[in-house]
């Protein structure tokens, strides 16, 4: 089994790489640094000297963040769209693979609240990250269709694992320093998935193809998540901030602008439930991901 993997130096990419090594697969990595093939996909197509590739896993991309400048907005398209296009051009030179797996995001749905959103929900993203992921998905789906490649798109929510970046990493840091608090009882639920379960699912689904949401099926609320992390970090149970007070702070943040760490939009996101339906994924070889809460009780992040 010959695998070409982009983004192997990223958070999820490391889990994918480790899992594939356990399977004794032959892995060739593509990246800007510390890779078998050194290439900045956002700027050029890779020179791929590997022949007869069985599976391409495209995990490289610019992660979700709030852009502050036009340059930062454009980076989403340069990395996620141009990078994908250059990878596909490089593959045409090397010879098309049998299977292609693309790591996408639930951000393509463009939702801030909702319950058990399925893969058939329209793609309504308006932010630059979500739009760039939609464009990359379409490029890959079209290319795979034209070249008769089995195509899989994985739409992922919050990723959980050791040294997790993003919102989970920020929550852990705040809990460790003692300044994390829940809002309105922390009852809003969010979908999330262990990075190691994503890696495991790839080997099951790659020969089959399709578009899938992945979650742990539990969708913890903020109170459950912060309590589990606090116990593991030997910290006190997080304080609760009344929703009414949080809304006032959010409004004040709106007036202060970028100088404020909180605004009305952030308050709305934190206090809104957003979950995704992964029942389609669970039909693939009876895939059963681990509960994030159970993982947190057994492991330190």
Residue 26 confidence (pLDDT): 95
| Comparison of pLDDT for 260 and 53, the residue scoring more | 53
Q: Is the pLDDT of residue 146 over 90?
A: yes
pLDDT for position 262: 80
Cβ(180)–Cβ(171) under 8 Å? yes
Look at residue 148 and tell me whether its pLDDT is greater than 80. Answer: yes
- Can you tell me the distance from the alpha carbon of 19 to that of 101, in angstroms, rounded to the nearest whole number? 15
Q: How confident is the model at residue 76 (pLDDT cuts 50, 70, 90)?
A: very high
Query: Which structure tokens are listed for 60?
Result: 């490289």
pLDDT value for 160: 95
Specify the CATH superfamily of domain 2-162+192-217+275-292. Answer: NAD(P)-binding Rossmann-like Domain (3.40.50.720)
- Break the chain into its structural domains and give their ranges: 2-162+192-217+275-292
Stretch 57-79: mean pLDDT, rounded? Answer: 87
At residue 278, the pLDDT reads 97
Residue-level length of the chain? 301
pLDDT digits (tens, 9 = 90+) for 288-300: 999 999 999 888 7
Closest Cα partner for 6 from 93, 82, 103, 97?
Answer: 103
Percent of the chain residues past pLDDT 90, beyond the cut: 73
d(CA 125, CA 130): 5
Distance spanning both ends of the chain, measured CA to CA:
32
Residue 45 DSSP one-character state: -
């Amino acid at each position: 089994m010959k695998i070409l993997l982009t983004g192997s130096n990223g958070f999820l990419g490391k889990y994918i790489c480790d899992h594939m090594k356990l399977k004794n697969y032959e892995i060739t990595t593509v990246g800007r640094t510390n890779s078998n093939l050194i290439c900045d996909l956002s700027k050029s197509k890779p020179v791929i000297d590997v022949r007869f590739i069985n599976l391409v896993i495209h995990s490289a991309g610019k992660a979700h963040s709030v852009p502050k400048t036009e340059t930062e907005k454009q980076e989403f398209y340069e990395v996620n769209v141009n990078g994908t296009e250059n990878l596909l051009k490089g593959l045409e030179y090397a010879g098309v693979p049998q299977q292609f797996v693309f790591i996408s995001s639930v951000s393509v749905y463009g939702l801030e609240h909702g319950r058990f959103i399925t893969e058939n929900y329209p793609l309504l993203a308006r932010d630059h990250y979500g739009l760039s992921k939609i464009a990359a998905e379409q490029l890959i789906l079209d290319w795979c269709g034209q070249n008769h490649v089995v195509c899989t798109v994985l739409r992922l929510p919050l990723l959980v694992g050791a040294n997790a970046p993003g919102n989970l990493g920020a929550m852990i840091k705040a809990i460790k320093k003692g300044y994390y608090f829940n809002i309105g009882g922390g009852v809003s639920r969010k979908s999330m998935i262990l990075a190691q379960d994503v890696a495991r699912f790839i080997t099951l689904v790659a020969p089959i193809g399709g578009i899938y949401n992945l979650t742990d099926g539990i969708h913890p609320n903020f109170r459950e998540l912060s309590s589990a992390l606090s116990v593991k970090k030997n910290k006190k149970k997080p304080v609760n901030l009344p929703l009414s007070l949080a809304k006032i702070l959010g409004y004040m943040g709106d007036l202060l602008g970028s100088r404020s760490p909180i605004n009305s939009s952030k308050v709305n996101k934190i206090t809104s439930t957003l979950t995704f339906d992964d029942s389609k994924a669970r039909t693939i070889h009876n895939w059963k991901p681990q509960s994030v809460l159970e993982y947190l009780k057994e492991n330190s992040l």
